[in-house]
Amino acid sequence: MTQRLVLVINCGSSSIKFALRREGDSAALLSGLAERLGSDQATLQWKTASALEETLLEDGEHGSAMAALLPLIEQHAGQPLSAVGHRVVHGGEHFTQAQLIDNKVIAAISANADLAPLHNPANLTGIQAAMAVFPDIPHVAIFDTAFHQSMPAYAYRYAIPEALYREHAIRRYGFHGTSHQYVTHRASLLSGHAPGRGAWLSAHLGNGCSSCAVLDGRSLDTSMGLTPLEGLVMGTRSGDVDPNLHAHLGRTLGWDLPRIEQLLNRESGLLGLSGLTNDMRQLEAAADDDHEGAKLAIEVFCYRLARSLLGLCAALPRLDGLLFTGGIGENSAKIRARTVEHMGAMGLKLDEAANNGHARGEAVAIHAKGSPTIWVIPTDEERQIADESLALLDH
């Protein structure tokens, strides 16, 4: 039987990431990025196993970028697409799983725009542009929040008046759901559990960072909340701060809300602490050169991560393993080692040689004998989106 093809789309306000995935394959047939959309310097870049190419997009809008994809897909697919899978950031409480996109789903994504004003409108632009270019193919929405809809109320409710939840949907949602779902499923297979089973802590550490407790394929708690600002220290995001910080900055410095949002989302995290950069690779190099800010940023990052992971143990009946993924989690032996050092209370211990010797791109166990399992597992959100899109069609 021919393996089916899915075009995976992740559309931002000025960019479209895409990948053509063949069912069951671990690598994309074709992938790329249209960026600087909305400007006269918009480009489309794409690569295959053997080539990397780039072209200027004359009318650099989302629609024309999507139209430029059509001949590329036709050239590389060799068969019709079975589905187009769209990453959508916020599904609110409407969506607990992937959805075939129709007018009702579009209206619901639009209704959730208040919860993700930067992301959902951009995701919708991508959906509408793709539906115009690929009108006869099923389009599927995969939500970053959906995997976490299994959290119990005691994990997702804030201790604020109930009316704000009931009337305004203010609660914890969590993000990075496709990644946490993918790596915990992989961990169950790699560790010899039944597919999808096991009690896992997952740490997705990229530019955005979140931790998650997963039991038998269900998210029970996660570090991000109403928005992707809550929780861990990230590249430029502060993660948790005292909620009174807003009032304090308003009162003492006269800062308004947009200024404070800018501070906490774009000027904080690793960048703010180090005064240097949000890029972990550069921070590690600077810390090796004794840069005090870089050393502190790394210490705070690892300590706060360990504290979050230990806290998430409250959601699990036992611990089968800890998983590291994302650009930092997959590549930084130092961050993994320092984080696990803070987690001795749970009996977690690394095998130093396995941790340091881990090769890029491969899943590997890095725990010491007697410790709960610790894995590095490369995430593959595009594959998860492609698989979920096809699974929905099969239902």
Query: Is 281 a residue that touches ligand AMP (CB under 6 A)?
Result: yes
**Total site size for ligand AMP, rule CB under 6 A:** 12
Among 279, 299, 341, 351, binds ligand AMP (CB under 6 A): 279
Sign of CA dihedral 96, 99, 103, 109: positive
Instruction: Fill in the DSSP letter of residue 367.
Output: B
Beta-bridge mates of residue 84: 7, 139
Residue 355 marked as a ligand binder: no
Query: Is 284 a residue that touches ligand AMP (CB under 6 A)?
Result: yes
Residue 12 marked as a ligand binder: no
Query: Is 97 a residue that touches ligand AMP (CB under 6 A)?
Result: no
Query: Is 326 a residue that touches ligand AMP (CB under 6 A)?
Result: yes
What is d(CA 250, CA 368) in angstroms, rounded to the nearest whole number? 49
Residue 391 tokens, joined: 């699974």
Nearer to ligand AMP, 85 or 329 (CB): 329
Beta-bridge mates of residue 109: none
Binding mask 163-192 for ligand AMP (x = CB under 6 A): ------------------------------
The H-assigned helical ranges of 171-279 are 177-190, 245-253, 257-266, 269-274
Strand 30-35 with 43-47, pairing: antiparallel
Residue 279 marked as a ligand binder: yes
Residue 324 tokens, joined: 């590291």
59 part of the active site = no
- Cβ-closest position to ligand AMP: 327
Residue 207 marked as a ligand binder: yes
Residue 369, Cβ density class (10 Å: 0-12 exposed, 13-18 middle, ≥19 buried): exposed
Residue 309 marked as a ligand binder: no
Residue 357, Cβ density class (10 Å: 0-12 exposed, 13-18 middle, ≥19 buried): exposed
Among 158, 327, 365, 368, binds ligand AMP (CB under 6 A): 327
Binding piece for ligand AMP, criterion CB under 6 A, among 62-70, 72-80, 81-89, 326-334 = 326-334
Between the alpha carbon of residue 249 and those of residues 214, 237, 252, 258, the distances in Å are 37, 17, 5, 12
Binding piece for ligand AMP, criterion CB under 6 A, among 48-56, 93-101, 274-282, 382-390 = 274-282
Q: How far is the CB of 40 from ligand AMP (least distance, A)?
A: 28
Q: How far is the CB of 135 from ligand AMP (least distance, A)?
A: 33
Query: Is 235 a residue that touches ligand AMP (CB under 6 A)?
Result: yes
Query: Is 331 a residue that touches ligand AMP (CB under 6 A)?
Result: yes
Sign of CA dihedral 227, 231, 237, 241: positive
Query: Is 328 a residue that touches ligand AMP (CB under 6 A)?
Result: yes
Query: Is 15 a residue that touches ligand AMP (CB under 6 A)?
Result: no
| Of 335, 271, 349, the residue nearest 302 (C-alpha) | 335
Task: Please give the full DSSP string across 147-164, using - where no structure is assigned.
Answer: GGGGS-HHHH--SS-HHH
Q: Which residue has the tokens 């600087």?
A: 36
Q: How far is the CB of 371 from ligand AMP (least distance, A)?
A: 23
Question: Do 61 and 69 meet the contact criterion of CB atoms below 8 Å apart?
Answer: no
Strand 16-22 with 30-35, pairing: antiparallel
Residue 204 marked as a ligand binder: yes
Among 12, 32, 206, 231, binds ligand AMP (CB under 6 A): 206
- Out of 40, 59, 102, 144, pick the active-site residue: 144
Nearer to ligand AMP, 112 or 331 (CB): 331
Residue 7, classed as helix, strand or coil, is strand
Which amino acids are annotated catalytic? 144
Residues that bind ligand AMP (CB under 6 A): 206-207, 235, 279-281, 284, 326-328, 331-332
List residues forming the annotated binding site for ATP.
17, 204-208, 279-281, 327-331
List residues forming the annotated binding site.
10, 17, 87, 204-208, 279-281, 327-331, 381
List residues forming the annotated binding site for Mg(2+).
10, 381
